[in-house]
């Protein structure tokens, strides 16, 4: 009997989700022995033509990380959807749009100008930016020309399920070892929940945080703080200290690893099932925590949040009610 076929693919991502696979360490060995990995661009030299050669549905599961922002990525995820029985959105960028999704607050042109023209570390006096087509000389013969092509980039960043049908979601930046192992084992044994399930506990992170017992019944915040500018009390709820900790609006499953290192939760596991918009949920909570009814004082406290969009929608803008601009 042939082994189940598994594919890994990355779109607009940082590579952290690939590291999450490698970080399984010895726990990955039984998985590797039980499956045939048919695609993994970062580690193995398979080609698009190899995937095209499979029968529809022949691949047992494709784990796809990263948001979709280029024509090539769109083409590949459609191909993997066609060839796979199951597709898992792996990580925050695939599930929610992630940090790349913050580009939806701007435009593709602004992004290119900032990276290639305005960046203080770039010396680009001719203002050259990437193009989808470029004519080049072929060899030493200057009269013979060829054409190089590059995938076009969309003016909008999309979570995976806005492009193809997704069966399951593995949250996190990056998904933690425990939920990756649990997901792979569930797939290999056929012990799967209902389609569309996020494969992580459906409860707020606060419930598994070691500081939960110190969380007050009522927050009274007079100033929001940045952790690199203020000392953190490691034995007290970070939000109650004024640090913007997204744990109250974020799904559990990571073991509160950031908080254990005295860093507030940034929300990478996304919302629980009953929350449609993670940023709006946290914004609503924050509004009730400001300890004053005076309008001027409220404004002063709010002004201590230096980047509301970056805090509240760091990972979820592209999948939120806002979604950012749909730039044409």
CATH code for position 32: 3.40.50.700
Split into its structural domains, the chain has a count of: 3
CA angle 15, 20, 26 (to 5 degrees): 135
Give the Å distances, CA to CA, from 322 to 61, 104, 309: 31, 10, 11
Task: Confirm if 164 and 158 have CB atoms less than 8 A apart.
Answer: no
In a domain, 76, yes or no: yes
Provide the CA 225 distance to its chain's centre, in angstroms: 25
In a domain, 306, yes or no: yes
Same domain? For 95 and 223 the reply is: no
Question: Any idea which residue has 């949920």 for tokens?
Answer: 281
- Asked if residue 178 and residue 54 are part of one domain, the reply reads yes
Rounded Cα distance between 313 and 268, Å, is 10
Query: Are residues 147 and 273 located together in one domain of the fold?
Result: no
Residue 325 lies in a domain: no
For residues 84 and 162, state if they share a domain: yes
Write out the chain's pLDDT in tens, 328 residues.
Answer: 688 999 999 999 999 999 999 888 777 777 778 889 999 999 888 889 999 999 999 999 999 999 999 999 999 999 999 999 999 999 999 999 999 999 999 888 898 899 999 999 999 988 888 889 988 888 777 778 888 898 999 989 999 999 999 999 999 999 999 999 999 889 888 999 999 999 999 999 999 999 999 999 999 999 999 999 999 999 999 999 999 999 999 999 999 999 999 999 999 999 999 999 999 999 999 888 988 888 999 899 999 999 999 999 999 999 999 886 555 4
Cβ(151)–Cβ(76) below 8 Å: no
Q: Is residue 52 part of a domain?
A: yes
Same-domain check for residues 24 and 39: yes
Closest CA to 65 of 23, 8, 10: 10
Q: Which of 51, 96, 99 is nearest to 77 (CA)?
A: 51
Name the phi and psi angles at 271, rounded to 5: -85, 165
Indicate if 126 and 227 belong to the same structural domain. Answer: no
The residue segments making up the domain with residue 181 are: 5-100+155-189
Q: Rounded to 5 degrees, what angle do the CA atoms 8, 14, 17 make?
A: 40
Kindly state whether residues 46 and 163 are assigned to the same domain.
yes
Same domain, 171 and 244: no
Are residues 179 and 57 part of one domain? Answer: yes
């Amino acid at each position: 009997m042939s082994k189940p076929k598994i594919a890994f693919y990355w779109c607009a991502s940082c590579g952290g989700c690939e590291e999450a696979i490698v970080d399984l360490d010895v726990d990955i060995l039984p998985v590797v022995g039980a499956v045939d990995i048919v695609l993994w661009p970062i580690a193995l030299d398979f080609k698009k033509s190899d995937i095209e050669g499979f029968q529809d549905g022949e691949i047992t599961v494709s784990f796809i990380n990263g948001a979709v922002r280029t024509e090539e990525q769109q083409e590949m995820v459609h191909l993997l959807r066609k060839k796979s029985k199951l597709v898992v959105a792996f990580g925050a960028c695939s599930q929610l749009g992630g940090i790349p999704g913050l580009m939806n607050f701007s435009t593709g042109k602004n992004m290119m100008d900032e990276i290639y023209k305005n960046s203080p570390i770039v010396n680009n006096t001719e203002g050259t930016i990437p193009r989808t087509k470029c004519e080049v000389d072929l060899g030493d013969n200057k009269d013979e020309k060829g054409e190089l092509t590059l995938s076009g980039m969309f003016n909008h960043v999309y979570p995976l399920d806005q492009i193809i049908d997704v069966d399951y979601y593995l949250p996190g930046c990056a998904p933690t070892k425990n939920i990756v192992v649990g997901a792979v084992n569930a797939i290999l044994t056929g012990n799967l929940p209902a389609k569309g399930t996020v494969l992580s506990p459906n409860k707020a992170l606060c419930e598994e945080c070691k500081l939960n017992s110190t969380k007050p019944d009522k927050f009274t915040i007079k100033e929001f703080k940045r952790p690199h500018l203020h000392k953190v009390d490691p034995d007290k709820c970070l939000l109650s200290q004024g640090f913007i900790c997204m744990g109250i609006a974020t799904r559990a499953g990571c073991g509160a690893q950031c908080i254990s290192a005295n860093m507030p939760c940034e929300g990478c596991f996304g919302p629980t099932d009953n929350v449609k918009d993670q940023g709006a949920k946290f914004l609503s909570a924050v509004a009730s925590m400001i300890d004053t009814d005076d309008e001027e004082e409220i404004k002063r406290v709010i002004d201590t949040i230096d980047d509301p969009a970056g805090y509240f929608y760091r990972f979820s803008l592209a999948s939120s009610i806002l979604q950012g601009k749909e730039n044409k």
